[in-house]
Amino acid sequence: MGKVTFDVDNCKGCGLCVLACPKKILQISQDVINKKGHHPAEITDESACIGCASCATMCPDCIITVERE
C-alpha cells in the first residue's frame, strides 16, 4: 500500500501520471484550480495504491511523492 501526495500548486495537469498509473486511480481534477490556473492531478482511491511510484517517475515536474507503508 502506498501514500501519494501532490504539490498541487505546481501541478500543470499534463496527465502523464494518470496514463502511467497501472491501477487507474489518478485523474485530473475538474473541481480544483491551482494558483497557476491549472486543474491538478488527484488520487481517487488511495487504498488501491500499490506504491509502485510510476506516477512520480513519469511526472516531468517532480510534484508527486509516493511513500510505501
Whether 12 contacts 39, CB under 8 Å: no
Provide the residue-wise pLDDT of the chain in tens; the chain has 69 residues. 889 999 999 999 999 999 999 999 999 999 999 999 999 999 999 999 999 999 999 999 999 999 987
Domain extent, residue 17, equals: 2-68
The total of structural domains in the chain comes to 1
Instruction: Kindly report the pTM of this predicted structure.
Output: 0.90
By CB atoms closer than 10 A (0-12, 13-18, 19+), residue 35 is exposed
How many other C-beta atoms can be found within 10 angstroms of the C-beta atom of residue 21? Answer: 22
Instruction: Check which CATH number belongs to the domain holding 8 and give it.
Output: 3.30.70.20
